[in-house]
Amino acid sequence: MDHVINKLTPAARSSDAAGEPVRAVLRPSREEAEAAVRVLLGYLGDDPDREGLLDTPRRVVSAYDELYGGYRERPADVLDRTFSEIGTYDDIVLVRDIPFSSHCEHHMMPFVGKAHVGYLPVERVVGLSKIARLIDIFARRLQTQERLSSQIVTEIDTVLKPRGVAVMLEAEHTCMSMRGVQKAGSSTITTQFTGVFRDDPKEQFRFINLVRNGIG
């Protein structure tokens, strides 16, 4: 699936998860974005010129700059520094219960949950905070949970070249809990595996057991 990366953010223009094509488009100006918010306020049935809404377009665009800041960052840069002083360690590195929030690309409504990421290193490891940062970069874009899972796995697999990567995401989607079927409390789980985790069911089970019970 093509990614829309605007021409004004060259740092974000290289491939995201390795191999995904990038399609550049011209980014509208801030003034145009604020004008679009005014149109939406009118469409909702409110008066964009009333006192309480006068500054809303500016605030909304500023919020979007933060919520969708992942379009202006390169995921590979987060993983570019690794550490080799790990002795003979070659077992799983697991970071679990990483909070994340994103927005579905279908309704632009939030989905919020936790990510669990494990990998089997080959001689080098990456700082644990970098994994959380990688998730944030991809999550701060319009997403589906399935693609978000794939992007995290592919980037780690491509840059670190471990023996295997395992990712599990658990999230509640407000496009399902607040609208449509309105089933609050339902959660969606996605998993993806590469290498040893994909090929060996025992390693998959160990990853899931570590995530659920803290026991491998």
Active site residue 51: no
Among 3, 73, 103, 104, the one annotated catalytic: 104
Among 31, 32, 105, 123, the one annotated catalytic: 105
Active site residue 173: yes
Among 170, 172, 175, 204, the one annotated catalytic: 175
Active site residue 175: yes
Among 3, 116, 145, 151, the one annotated catalytic: 145
Active site residue 192: no
Q: What DSSP string runs through 28-40?
A: PPHHHHHHHHHHH
User: What's the distance, CA 66 to chain centroid?
Assistant: 14
Active site residue 170: no
Helix (H, G, I), strand (E, B) or coil at 168: strand
32 burial type by CB count under 10 A (0-12 exposed, 13-18 middle, 19+ buried)? exposed
Helix axes 145-160, 128-139, angle to 10 degrees: 140
| CA dist., res. 30 & res. 40, Å (int) | 15
| CA dist., res. 110 & res. 134, Å (int) | 18
Rg of the Cα trace of the chain? 20
Pick left, alpha or beta for residue 44 (phi over 0 → left; psi -120 to 50 → alpha; otherwise beta). alpha
What residues are labeled active site? 104-107, 145, 173, 175
